Amino acid sequence: MILFTRLFNKLPFAGTILVPLLFFACKTHPPAPTVDEVMPAAYQKLTNPFIQDAAAIAAGEKIFMANCVSCHGIHADGNGPAAMALPVKPANFLDQSVLPKHTNAYLFWRISEGKPGTAMPKWKGAMDEKERWQVVSYLRKLESDHQNHK
């Protein structure tokens, strides 16, 4: 701050140059691009075999912590350490406009196939089907816990 004060005192026009530079230097995330959100038929009828299964939720939490926190954050709020470097902010699963509007099948699809236009990778192949459903179960537990703490 002292440096800026000295600079402003010596060069009165410095603010005219620095303020716009600082404004444009601040990194913001654009909204996620619009992508084809029509879930493939192969995913539409899938159901979560681990609904409210405590062991599956615990396993899903471990998987999430090992694979997802770098982008989605330890609190699943989209503020992981890698989030600022990404062109599109990761989903904030605590935001009431995210999990409640999606079915389990949709979440499983996005975990499996990723999301075009974002950094969300395809986990199919890296995680087996059981693990992907466990992550969905963990996300649903987060949703329930967040709603109960309001």
Total domains, the chain = 2
CB 103 within 8 A of CB 140: no
Q: Judge whether 134 and 50 are in contact, CB under 8 Å.
A: yes
pLDDT digits (tens, 9 = 90+) for 76-97: 999 999 999 999 999 999 998 8
Cβ-contact 12, 19 below 8 angstroms: no
| 130 Cβ contact partners less than 8 Å away, ≥ 6 residues apart | 50
Region 103-107 average pLDDT: 97
Dihedral angle at the C-alpha atoms of 38, 40, 41, 45, nearest 10 degrees? -90
Within a domain: 40: no
High-pLDDT (> 70) share of the chain, %: 75
pLDDT at 122 over 70: yes
Confidence of residue 37 (pLDDT cuts 50, 70, 90): confident
- What is the reported pLDDT for 31? 52
Same domain, 9 and 55: no
Domain of residue 12, residue span: 1-26
C-beta atoms surrounding 74 within 10 Å: 13
CA 9 from chain center: how many Å? 44
| Residue 68, domain CATH | 1.10.760.10
